Amino acid sequence: MARFNVSKDDTEWLNDWWVNPVQDGSPEPDPQDLKETQAYIQKNYTPEIQELIKIQVRPTRDVD
């Protein structure tokens, strides 16, 4: 998978990444979703861009 070349100015889509809560209404992230999201970010973004990404917890689980 290719690493994305993004500048620090490209923050409109970059800042917030969302993961599912353990259960609806919980502020705690689902451990598996968090792990997969972190692995994806580490694999696809440079360390400089990784520092800009904030992982947030959704209020309810997102169903795919």
Q: Max alpha carbon distance in the chain (Å)?
A: 35
- Could you tell me where the beta strands, DSSP code E, fall in the chain? 16-19, 54-57
Positive or negative torsion for Cα 57, 60, 32, 47: negative
Q: According to the model, what pLDDT value does residue 2 have?
A: 41
Question: What pTM was computed for the model?
Answer: 0.75
The CA distance from 24 to 44, in Å, is 29
pLDDT of residue 32: 97
Q: How many Å apart are CA 55 and CA 37, to the nearest integer?
A: 8
Per-residue pLDDT of the chain (64 residues; tens, 9 = 90+): 344 455 555 555 568 999 999 999 999 999 999 999 999 999 999 999 899 999 999 999 987 6
